[in-house]
Structures are given as structure tokens and as C-alpha cells.
Amino acid sequence: MTTEQRYTKEKVTHIRHWVEKKLFSISTTRAAEFKFKPGQFARLGLATTTGEEPSIWRGFSMVNPVDSKELEFYAVVVPDGEFSPRLADLKVGDDIYIDKNPIGFLTLDNFPNGGKSLWLLATGTGLSAYLSIIHDPKTWSLFDKVILCHGVRYINELSYQEQIQTWQQQWGERFVYLPLPTRESHLHYPQHRLTTLIETGKLAELAGTELDPSQACVMLCGNPDMLADGRKILGDLGFATGRRGNIGNLAVEKYW
């Protein structure tokens, strides 16, 4: 008796390197049956030798809209990492394996009633999950305003600028984008950590929107220290994850 495989074999269709040897996006073919909710992630697998079964797996959030023909992932190269340097070295036409079951809870299911504003707070590749969420029309029917804050070390790590500009044109004042490079100064970008900006009230000022727990919902994704600090600061303001059937106004996802 054969057991059905848990994954499908796909092909790499496109790779874009945003910052050489650090940040890249990779697109793949997509199995017709692969369905996901915006904000979820897929387990990607690589084989050690061509033709062998995949032996190493890692999770990556989908960046693309739910109905696109292909899947897209945004990733960082972790030097000495087992998986990400190999992923970054793939070429168009190479094999990649994708687990049939997408997973993850950083989705709009956390906020079924929506609210005035949705704050998508990311550092680094934490941006990935938010891109598929912003693509989703449901996000815009649940929330009046979407605020995307992206903390990075350097300005050239602010990826997906063309897509972000398209959303700015499409949604006007309903979409606020705050680029936050921490290790490089810029005339128009504040050089501060996200957590500092929340704590001082500056983030709300920059967004032109109150960070009010009775009207706002917040998602946090990125560096685990940022998640820990952010949870504490937001908790003090009145934000909490949902539990025991109570709907929350905070959702957090850990990448490592």
C-alpha cells in the first residue's frame, strides 16, 4: 500500500535579489489544490541531491494574493543557516517541494469584527505575511485604515516598494506606510525602533491615527526580541491576544 505524499514537487519560476546575499524573493509553480488564508505560511522542502526525497524543511509566509497562479516567498539569507543559503542559490527551473497543507494563525480570523485601523508591525522578513493580507479585499472591508510599519536595519532593505506605491495610489489615505530604518538616517524616515516609537506615542503621530485598543487591531511579526518587547508595550496599552473564545485585538507570529 502506498501512502499519499504530503507534498508536491514544484519548480522555481523567478528569483529576485533585493539585497545581494541578504534578501530575496522566490516564486514557484503552485499545485491547484494548494489553498491558503492570507498571513499563513507553507513548509518548503529541498532535497540534498537532485531526484532524492526532500530532507530539509522550513516555513515561509506567502507574499502573493490567495488567487495568484504562482506562490511567492520573501526571505533572508541566514549566513551558516542550513536552508536559506540553499534557497537563495536556486535557479529558475530547479525543483522545490511544498507541503500540501499551509498553516499559521496570523490571519484576519483573529479579528472577525474588524475595526477602525489594522496595524501591521514588522521587522525584517516579518513583512512577508502582511503582503498577502494587504492584497486581500477582506482586509479593506473589515478595516477603515491599514498601517504598515516596516523596521529594517538599512534603507535598501525596504523591499516591495513598487507594490507598496501601487497600494498607496489605490487606497489613498486608507493606507499608511511607515518605513523605519534603524541604522541609517534619512530626511523623511524616523531612525527609531518600532517599539520605541510605540512607547513614546510617536508611531500613532506618524500614522496620523490613534493606537486605541478599543478601535485598533495589531499584528506583530519579526525579530523575537521585538515581539517580546512589543507584546509588553502593547499589553500595557490594552492590547491582548484572543483566548478562551474571547476575541483579541493583537496577533503575533514567531519566525524563530
Ligand X SMILES: NC(=O)c1ccc[n+]([C@@H]2O[C@H](COP(=O)([O-])OP(=O)(O)OC[C@H]3O[C@@H](n4cnc5c(N)ncnc54)[C@H](OP(=O)(O)O)[C@@H]3O)[C@@H](O)[C@H]2O)c1
Ligand Y SMILES: Cc1cc2nc3c(=O)[nH]c(=O)nc-3n(C[C@H](O)[C@H](O)[C@H](O)COP(=O)(O)OP(=O)(O)OC[C@H]3O[C@@H](n4cnc5c(N)ncnc54)[C@H](O)[C@@H]3O)c2cc1C
According to DSSP, residue 66 is labeled: T
Pick from 84, 132, 139, 195: which binds ligand Y (CB under 6 A)? 84
> Tell me, what DSSP letter sits at residue 113?
T
- The interface with ligand Y within residues 26-65 (CB under 6 A) comprises 41, 58-61
Among 65, 104, 114, 242, binds ligand Y (CB under 6 A): 104
Binding mask 207-236 for ligand X (x = CB under 6 A): ----------------x-xx--x-------
What residues between 118 and 147 interact with ligand Y by CB under 6 A?
124-125, 128
56 makes contact with ligand X (CB under 6 A):
no
Rounded to 10 degrees, what is the CA torsion of 142, 249, 106, 193?
Answer: 110
Mark the segment that binds ligand X (CB under 6 A) among 4-12, 64-72, 141-149, 190-198.
190-198
19/130 Cα distance (integer angstroms): 20
SS3 88: helix
* Residues 6+ positions from 231 with CB-CB distance below 8 Å: 220, 250, 252
Name the residue whose CB lies closest to ligand X.
Answer: 124
Residue 59 interaction partner, one of ligand Y, ligand X, none, beta carbon < 5-8 Å per kind: ligand Y
CB-facing half-sphere around the CA of 82: CA atoms within 13 A: 9
Tell me the window of 71-79, 94-102, 107-115, 199-207 that interacts with ligand Y (CB under 6 A).
71-79
Q: Looking at 42, 98, 152, 218, which residue binds ligand X (CB under 6 A)?
A: 152
Q: What is the DSSP string of 197-208?
A: HHHHTHHHHHHT
Within 10 angstroms of residue 245's Cβ, the number of other Cβ atoms is 5
CB proximity list for 246: less than 8 A, separation 6 or greater: none
Which member of 6, 16, 17, 21 binds ligand X (CB under 6 A)?
21
Strands 7-19, 143-152: pairing is: unpaired
Binds ligand Y by CB under 6 A, chosen from 12, 75, 178, 207: 75
Which residues of this protein are in contact with ligand Y, per CB under 6 A?
41, 58-61, 73-76, 78, 81-84, 104, 124-125, 128, 253, 255-256
